[in-house]
Chain A
Amino acid sequence: GQQLNQSPQSMFIQEGEDVSMNCTSSSIFNTWLWYKQDPGEGPVLLIALYKAGELTSNGRLTAQFGITRKDSFLNISASIPSDVGIYFCAGVSSGGSNYKLTFGKGTLLTVNP
Chain B
Amino acid sequence: GAGVSQSPSNKVTEKGKDVELRCDPISGHTALYWYRQSLGQGLEFLIYFQGNSAPDKSGLPSDRFSAERTGGSVSTLTIQRTQQEDSAVYLCASSPYMNTEAFFGQGTRLTVV
Which residues in A have some Cβ–Cβ distance to B below 8 Å?
Answer: 1, 6, 30-31, 33, 35, 40-45, 48, 50, 88, 90, 92, 94, 97-106
Whether B97 contacts A97 by the Cβ 8 Å rule is yes
B101 cross-chain contacts in A, Cβ below 8 A: 33, 45, 48
State A48–B93 Cα separation when bound (angstroms).
Answer: 16
Which residues in B have some Cβ–Cβ distance to A below 8 Å?
Answer: 4, 31, 33, 35, 41-43, 45, 48, 50-51, 53, 56, 58, 91, 93, 95, 97-107
B93 cross-chain contacts in A, Cβ below 8 A: 42, 101
B75 to chain A, nearest CB (A): 15
A sample of 30 inter-chain contacts (CB < 8 A) reads A1-B58, A33-B101, A33-B102, A35-B104, A42-B4, A42-B105, A43-B91, A43-B104, A44-B104, A48-B100, A48-B101, A50-B100, A88-B42, A88-B43, A92-B100, A97-B50, A97-B51, A97-B97, A97-B98, A99-B31, A99-B95, A99-B98, A99-B99, A99-B100, A101-B33, A101-B93, A101-B100, A103-B45, A104-B42, A106-B42
State A33–B106 Cα separation when bound (angstroms).
Answer: 18
Whether A98 contacts B56 by the Cβ 8 Å rule is yes
A88 cross-chain contacts in B, Cβ below 8 A: 42-43
Whether B50 contacts A99 by the Cβ 8 Å rule is yes
Which of B41, B98, B104 meets A105, CB within 8 Å?
A: B41
B95 cross-chain contacts in A, Cβ below 8 A: 99
B80 to chain A, nearest CB (A): 25
Which 4 pairs between the two chains have the least Cβ-Cβ distance?
Answer: A42-B104, A105-B42, A103-B43, A92-B100
State A100–B43 Cα separation when bound (angstroms).
Answer: 13
